[in-house]
Amino acid sequence: MTRKKETIKIAVLASGRGSNFIAIADAISRGEINADIAFLFSNSKEAKAIEAAEKRGIKTKVVDSRSLSKEEYDKKLIEVLTEEEIDLVLLAGYMKIVGKALIETFPLRIMNIHPSLLPSFKGLHAQRQAIEYGVKVSGCTVHFVDEGMDRGPIIIQSAIPVLDDDTAESLSNRILIEEHRLYAKAVKLFAHGKLRVEGRKVFIDSK
């Protein structure tokens, strides 16, 4: 199982508006997930997610990635996460590649949400890629982060139909609603010790 403590400590890493962060923070506030968000971390002080955290009384930390080399930035991030004894790191619209050192410090303890049914449509603009490819179904995926982009073991996925008149925007909006539900569900499974990983496969304990 993926945890030991009673109430796990989470850090959320976000670069943008932070709607997934808000969904998880709200699910925790409603008592649905046995976890605390220790802080919201961002690589940019302009991230809207910071405002959302402050509004909820959640601590924020910013390390401006533009003023540092990749190594310096990663070192700072690892310091911040280990200092606070974080159990689970959540990437929520975090637009930076997670370095090897961070993955090795938090093996199977970093999750990401991606707006497609992986392994289809990795990388940026996954919803636009889905529309342009002409798929009939897309969706979202929560996975553990490894060194490959959008590649780590898949925890849960949810399918969303692609409609004939969908634009990248309309599809993104429908997927986003599902992302909020799915990410909170994955975090709950982790926090409540329900996940077991064997190689690429993640098993969910149904008890």
For ligand GAR, the closer of residues 3 and 39 by Cβ is 39
Answer yes or no whether residue 44 interacts with ligand GAR by CB under 6 A: no
Q: Name which of 60, 64, 61 is nearest 52 in CA terms.
A: 60
The DSSP element (H or E) to which 131 belongs, if any, is: helix 126-133
Tell me how far apart the alpha carbons of residues 196 and 190 are, in angstroms, rounded to a whole number.
9
Answer yes or no whether residue 143 interacts with ligand GAR by CB under 6 A: no
For ligand GAR, the closer of residues 2 and 42 by Cβ is 42
| CA distance from start to end of the chain | 13
Q: Which residues pair with 113 in a beta bridge?
A: 142
Answer yes or no whether residue 92 interacts with ligand GAR by CB under 6 A: yes
- Do residues 102 and 110 lie in contact, with contact meaning Cβ atoms separated by under 8 Å? yes
Tell me how far apart the alpha carbons of residues 152 and 161 are, in angstroms, rounded to a whole number.
24
Q: Is the peptide bond before 119 cis (omega within 30 degrees of 0)?
A: yes
Q: Cβ 114 to ligand GAR, closest distance in Å?
A: 5
Instruction: Name the residue whose CB lies closest to ligand GAR.
Output: 93
Tell me how far apart the alpha carbons of residues 57 and 31 are, in angstroms, rounded to a whole number.
16
Altogether, the residues listed in the chain come to a count of 207
Q: Which of 176, 188, 192, 194 binds ligand GAR (CB under 6 A)?
A: 176
Answer yes or no whether residue 166 interacts with ligand GAR by CB under 6 A: no
Answer yes or no whether residue 43 interacts with ligand GAR by CB under 6 A: no
For ligand GAR, the closer of residues 12 and 35 by Cβ is 12
Q: Which of 53, 115, 144, 145 binds ligand GAR (CB under 6 A)?
A: 115
Q: Which parts of 1-40 interact with ligand GAR (CB under 6 A)?
A: 14, 16-20
Residue 180 known to be catalytic = no
Residue numbers of the site for ligand GAR (CB under 6 A)?
14, 16-20, 92-93, 113-115, 126, 150, 176, 179
Q: Which residues are catalytic?
A: 114
